[in-house]
Each structure stands twice: as structure tokens, then as C-alpha cells.
Amino acid sequence: MKIASYNVNGIRAAINKGFIDWLTAANPDVICLQEIKANKEQLDLSLFEEAGYPYHYWFSAQKKGYSGVAILSKTEPNHVEYGTGIDSMDFEGRNLRVDFDKVSIMSLYLPSGTNDARLQHKFDYMDMFLEYISKLRQTVPNLVVCGDYNICHEPIDIHNPKMKGVSGYLPEEREWLSDFINSGMIDSFRYLHPEMQKYSWWSYRANARANNKGWRLDYAMVSQPLQENISRSVILNEVVHSDHCPIMVELEHI
């Protein structure tokens, strides 16, 4: 199974930049989208269906044009779970899960800490999410959590590891991501590429992408029971519909 994840920074804008052609060529079995910034009523859903994804699920934020996640799939899942059931997490449309026979896949969009209030919201969200995932894995052990975590984990994951005091690379955020991994999740890209330095997000400022001054914020986290199934994990940094690029993980025998 080939699973992609992409923070599109507005699905309508990405479509205008050629997203559908890329999706058809990349041909994942499932793609998790983040920051869709739209309700499904605002989209021509036939575009996704004609690209080979008749099953598409949308979980938008209550606030128009903000946040939101989606999952497109070639095959119909057994179950779709919208949100977590925790109101303070769900009103911004940040979690969507599809369950198949052998694996469950979640699209996650973790908040960014753009100011003090949002940083506190991010920390609260992270604490609740870690607890939620730990409980979920008791009944859904074969889990892939793809998405924009808005955190660089290690110095290798950021172009300037000496950066201090900036959300996304705060010690508390990085420690939380370590705790998340240590709870039984595998960073599939780092698992297969322990020393490769690649990024998945670049600021629009100061020509950051052309100079490759990036951050690795997007992860395909795979639960430990699926460790032996991980055959490939890549960052597709040549794809340019967004300030992020897509990532992809492939699981064998799923």
C-alpha cells in the first residue's frame, strides 16, 4: 500500500497549480491532505473521482477557509472516523481516520504556535492527542498517522539547528515528538534514512525554497506492529503546489 501525505495550503489553490495531474502520476492508494482551507461543497469532487479516487472524506474547520483535513482513497474503507470526539481538538478539523482490513490511516494537522495563545493551544492539543493515540492503539494497533506535525524533531530536520525560541523547534515540542515516537510509533523516513537531510516545508520569505532553507515538519508515523512492513519512505521535495511538499510511505503485504 502506497500512502501519501500533503499539506496543500489550500486545496483549491493547489488544484490551480496542477495538483490533480501530480496526483494521477504519483498514484498513491491513499492520500492524506492537510490545510485544505475549504468545505467539500466548494470543490468539484468529480476531479478527484476522475483521478481514481472515488472515496473521499472531508473534515473541515468550523471557521471558513481555515485548517481542515481530507483523505482520498482508491478503495472503500471499512470505517471513517471524523475527529477525535474531543471538542477543543475537533472544531478546527485536524484529525480524520480511515480503517481498512489490515491498517488504519489518519490525516493529522497539528496546530502551529504562531503566538502565545496558539502555542498554549498547541501544547494542550499535543497532550490530548498523545493520550488519544495511546488509547486508540489498544483497539487499532496497525496505525499510520500521516501529516503536518508542525515540529522539527532533531537538528538534522532543520536548516538552522541553532535557532532558538521559535515554535516548531522548541525543546518542549521536540521532547513531545520523542515521547510520541517512544510510545510505540516509528518515524518511517528517519527509520529508513537515518542520516539523510531533507525538508518538507520552506518559508515563502527570503527565497527559502530556492536556497533549501527548510524544515522537516511532515511525517508518516507508523505503529510498531507494522515495522517490518515499511519498505519505502520518501520526501518528494521537487513537487511545488504548496509551501510544503508531499511525503510518501509504502507498506508491503498490506
Catalytic machinery residues: 148
Nearest-10 Cα torsion for 157, 131, 98, 61: -80
150 φψ region: left (φ > 0), alpha (ψ -120 to 50), beta (else): left
Nearest-angstrom CA–CA distance, 101 and 76: 11
At residue 201, the 3 state secondary structure works out as strand
Q: How far apart are CA 29 and CA 62, in angstroms?
A: 28
Question: Which distant-in-sequence residues (6+ apart) come within 8 Å of 227 by Cβ?
Answer: 186, 191
β 95-99/79-82 pair status: antiparallel
